[in-house]
Structures are given as C-alpha cells and as structure tokens.
C-alpha cells in the first residue's frame, strides 16, 4: 500500500512557481494584515466614541438626578453656554488651538509609525 502511494505521489508533476513567489505571497500577507489592522482600529475608535458619549450622558443624568435639578434649569444653562460661545471670546482660543492639536497629532502618528516593531 505504501509503495503505491509513493509511486502515485512521485509520478505527479510539481507545479511551476514564479521566481518571486515568496515575495509576492509575503507582500499579500502584509497588505491583508494592514487592512485588517486598519479595520480593527476603526472599530475600536467607534466603540470608544460610543462609550465616551454614553459615560458622559449617564454622568450628567446622575448629577441631574442626585441634585434634583429641573429640566427648565438645564435648558436655561444650555442657553447661557450658547450665548458665551456666540460672543467669540471662547471660540478664538479654540480656533487657534485646533490646528496646533491637528499638527501635533500628525507628528505623533509619523513618530509612532517609525518606531521599530
């Protein structure tokens, strides 16, 4: 039985492989790994945002319930915040800081990608 199997296996021709077969295969594996990692990071970022908003909402709800604040007071407080934001004294530093934070984020992303693995 073993001789028959050996003879059948030895009689089959091995397929011709391209000379750069291993390089192309490894490149596809790297691309697939990078694609999966990007998808995983997007999913984690989305879940993190959902968790942050849920925590903020529940924290505000607990604070409102514990202190017995009425909804009319909350709405008036939101209107006063909106008034402060529309005056411009608050938005000027924010407008200045957001591009700086964006540049800092870009710089950090480049540094992280350059780190040895």
Give me 51's structure tokens: 């968790």
3-state secondary structure 90-111: CHHHHHHHHHHHHHHHHHHHHH
Contact call for residues 85 and 91 (beta carbons, < 8 A): yes
Provide Rg for the chain, Cα atoms: 30
Predicted TM-score (pTM) of this structure: 0.47
Tens of pLDDT along 13-27?
666 767 777 888 888
Which whole number is the average pLDDT over 38-44? 92
pLDDT band at 117 (very low <50, low <70, confident <90, very high): low
Overall residue count recorded for the chain in this entry: 117
State the residue for tokens 């939101």: 78
pLDDT of residue 51: 94
Average pLDDT, rounded, for the chain: 83
CB 90 within 8 A of CB 84: yes
pLDDT at 90: 67
Q: What are the pLDDT digits (tens) for 45-66? A: 999 999 999 999 999 888 888 8
Map residue 38 onto helix, strand or coil: helix
């Amino acid at each position: 039985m073993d001789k028959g199997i050996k003879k059948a296996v030895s009689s089959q021709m091995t397929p011709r492989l391209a000379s750069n077969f291993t390089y192309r295969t490894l490149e596809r594996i790297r691309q697939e790994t990078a694609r999966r990692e990007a998808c995983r990071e997007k999913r984690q970022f989305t879940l993190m945002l959902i968790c942050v908003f849920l925590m903020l909402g529940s924290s505000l709800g607990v604070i409102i319930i514990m202190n017995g604040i009425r909804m009319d007071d909350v709405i008036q407080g939101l209107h006063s915040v909106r008034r402060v934001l529309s005056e411009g004294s608050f938005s000027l530093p924010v407008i200045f800081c957001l591009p700086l934070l964006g540049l800092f984020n870009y710089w950090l992303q480049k540094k992280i990608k350059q780190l040895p693995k």
